[in-house]
Chains A and B, each alone.
Chain A
Amino acid sequence: MTQEEIIAARRAESWRDELRRSKKAKERMDLVRVKMNELDGEYRSHNNEEVNLGLTKEQAMLEAQRCLDCANPTCMTGCPVSINIPTFIKYIEKGDILAAARTLKETSALPAVCGRVCPQEKQCEKHCIYTQKMKKEAVAIGYLERFAADYERESGNISVPDIDTKNGIKVAVIGSGPAGLSFAGDMAKRGFDVTVFEALHEIGGVLKYGIPEFRLPNKIVDVEIDSLRKMGVAFITNCIVGKTISYDDLHADGFKGIFVASGAGLPNFMNIPGENLVGVMSSNEYLTRVNLMDAANPESDTPVLIGKKVAVIGGGNTAMDSVRTARRLGAERAMIVYRRSEEEMPARLEEVKHAKEEGVEFLTLHNPIEYLGNEQGRVKQMRLQKMELGEPDASGRRSPIPIEGAIDTIDVDEVIVSVGVSPNPLIPRAFGGLEVTRKGTIVVSEDSMRSALADVYAGGDIVRGGATVILAMGDGRKAAAAMAENLLKE
């Protein structure tokens, strides 16, 4: 069956048909979108508790009524992993939450994660009929996804997806972030023998070292990883493919296919004077110390510099994660410094809103040009060039132009540079024969994610150079479908 036929068949099931008819579309449309329950901004800015509390079952079932169960569900076109959105939402409306959770797991290896970190307003919810046709707020698809995944986990009835008969074919995954986990889940479902190699001492990649506890608790990630273990996926930590073991070693060990999901390794810096002063660091370093190494916990051996006046450079989600972390670690002034205006910020709307509620200052249309240090070499001030917006640039956003002579100097004792990342060069250097772009990303065919090496596929930030969790997961899914087809054909 094609995707369209599956969607139609499930929509035609009698319970669903009845449910749809049980309420008039007009009544559904008159309902107001649910608000996420969240901790108070002031309270949460001093601790690491998860900000969003999730929906209650009553809230979720009511919100699910808003979904019109469209015959042509445009929302699904916005989902990189093609979750059958109307099906899972209608299960929630019906009150069968566990069935909703199972629906999510058909195509997503990490529903509780996606429900928390996906930029739904740019994906499924952007394509919801409410947004598209009615100029109303979209169905809260992301909140509902999170609700179903959390409900299942808390119920203790965690389902393990059906696994095809084992085919005995070994495949290797390099990196245990979202792309790698998504790929691993899909290949395990197809009966492959999957081993994931991780360079760090923890499984989860950016979900562990990057995204903070208050946005994505580690225990949520661990439960999803556990599900993959139950599906038979093996994980090997502290093993760097290309260093500890080679491409040839993988062949010698009988691996028939390799999926490279090694992520965006190198943090970008701006190459401005004073950037190597003590107290200036990448968001990767800052977040890794705090999240992966638990450096703010007195029991941890890893130190982290604590700033009272912290500037975070950049306007993406990682910048928001960094500035909100700084606030929680005691920064009296936690500032976002961004060279464009708020409108151009790539961060999710919710992250910007949350940051503001937590007392983060936004210095938009400011760009750092120099850092100044004290006698010990610790940063004490930064010089900021004021900007204004000009014509749209290649990214379609209005480009920032310096206002001549308008330079501010402000006091800071810590600066977190969060201006993007470049792909990790380890794999491109170690695998001879890969085609690599000037930026260092691996070139793959867009429909199969297959690289210039026939048995090597790649996805996530090593291909995209810095994107989102869900796009990485979509790549993993696509690569799994293509690799499975090829390997089973042989």
Chain B
Amino acid sequence: MNKIVKKEHFSANVVKLVVEAPLIARARKAGHFVIVKVGEKGERIPLTIAGADVQKGTIDLVIQGVGASSKKICALNEGDYITDLVGPLGQAMHIEKVGTVVCAGGGVGVAPLLPIVEAFHKAGNRVIVVLAARTKDLVILEEQMKANSDEVIVMTDDGSYGNKGLVTNGVESVINREKVDLCVTIGPAIMMKFVAALTKKYNVPTLASLNTIMVDGTGMCGACRITVGGQTKFVCVDGPEFDAHQVDFDEMLMRLGAYKELEK
């Protein structure tokens, strides 16, 4: 049982929960995730850790209420408990000084991108963040990103804020004006697919941090398997970070839809 000490609304259906988890706070690194289960009959779902405070012994989770289980988590309030929380899981993101890094995040994927932005910036890289959202109200963490990077480019689908266009337009504008050594992308699978296709065209090495269906999160079930460079990989233990140019995003999208009919 882990207590929720703070809840913040980022947008209509995106919340940030600060959760007591001292051991995870101490052990986690950028890129790690946790498995969360709410209620005795709850589902185990993976959530990438968006931040941590070692002194206070807390971790930050940012959740978008899309399915039944994520809505259940979003409905929790300060003082409530998360029934089961385990982590940190997965391999930490590989952080080193490479030069200029473009970090492209979309939707709720912006949250787990924050610790990665922080880490690359701390490692001495020039970090440019491209934040994408459908509309102005859905742009999250802009201030925190600004504080931890060299530049933030905001893209909205409807042009209500920042530049009008998709995340790929933002990334392409940076590639066209300066040398980019690495791109990191987190967001909906379809978004990462297009970011990967774009950066491949420009030969910019790209890492994607994937979020798939999982049950145990420790390598036991294989629900999270994807194809990378023609080989089956488990996102939970081999990832969640992969060479985006090698990931079969179409297969991943298909597998993400496995329970769509049952969710209805």
Q: Which residues on A are within 8 Å of B, measured CB to CB? A: 199-201, 209, 237-240, 243-246, 265-267, 269, 271, 275-279, 281-282, 284-285, 288-289, 293-294, 297, 299-303, 305, 376-377, 424-426
Roughly how many angstroms separate A482 CA and B257 CA in the complex, as a whole number?
A: 50
Do the beta carbons of B216 and A267 come within 8 Å of each other? Answer: no
Complex contacts, B262 vs chain A, CB 8 Å: 303, 305
Inter-chain contact A240/B84, CB cutoff 8 Å: no
A285 nearest in chain B by CB position = B221
Q: Which of B23, B68, B223, B232 contacts A301 (CB 8 A)?
A: B68
**Interface SS of chain B:** mixed
List, in ascending order, chain B residues with CB within 8 A of A277's CB: 254
- Chain B residues, CB < 8 A from A271: 232
Chosen A-B contacts, 11 in total, with CB atoms closer than 8 Å, are A209-B220, A239-B86, A244-B87, A265-B218, A301-B39, A303-B262, A303-B263, A305-B258, A377-B254, A377-B257, A424-B218
Q: Bound state CA distance, A199 and B214, in angstroms?
A: 15
* A278/B219 contact (C-beta < 8 A), A244-B24, A271-B232, A294-B41 known: no
A426: contacting residue among B72, B83, B237, CB under 8 A: B237
Kindly list the 6 A-B residue pairs having the minimum CB-CB distance in the complex, ordered from nearest: A377-B254, A285-B221, A301-B43, A201-B84, A238-B86, A303-B262
Cβ A269 vs Cβ B221 within 8 A: no
Beta-carbon contact of B41 and A278 below 8 Å: no
Given known contacts A276-B255, A301-B69, A302-B44, A266 and B215 CB-to-CB distance under 8 angstroms: no
Complex: chain A residue closest to B263, CB-CB = A303
B residues near A (Cβ < 8 Å) are: 23-24, 27, 37, 39, 41-44, 68-69, 72, 83-89, 215-216, 218-223, 225-227, 232, 234, 237, 251, 254-255, 257-259, 262-263
Could you tell me the distance between the alpha carbons of A299 and B43 in the complex, rounded to whole angstroms?
11
Set of chain A residues within 8 Å of B23, measured between Cβ atoms = 239, 244-245
Query: Across the interface, which residues of A come within 8 angstroms of B39, CB to CB?
Result: 301
Write the chain B residue with the least CB distance to A421.
B220
Q: Give Cα A289 to B223, complex, Å.
A: 10
Do A288 and B219 touch (CB < 8 A)?
A: no
A267 cross-chain contacts in B, Cβ below 8 A: 220-222
- A272 smallest CB distance to B (angstroms): 11
B257: chain A residues at CB < 8 Å are 278, 376-377
- Which residue from chain B places its CB closest to the CB of A244 in the assembled complex? B23
Nearest chain A residue, comparing its CB with the CB of B251: A276
Known: A269-B225, A377-B257. 18 other contacts (CB 8 A): A201-B83, A238-B85, A240-B87, A246-B27, A266-B219, A266-B237, A267-B222, A269-B232, A276-B232, A276-B255, A278-B254, A289-B215, A299-B41, A300-B43, A302-B215, A377-B251, A377-B254, A426-B237
Query: If A243-B88, A266-B222, A269-B222 touch, does A288 touch B216 (CB 8 Å cutoff)?
Result: yes
B254 nearest in chain A by CB position = A377
Q: Is the CB of A301 within 8 A of B220?
A: no
Is B220 a contact partner of A284 (Cβ separation < 8 A)?
yes
Query: When the two chains form their complex, are residues B27 and A243 in contact, meaning their CB atoms are under 8 A apart?
Result: yes
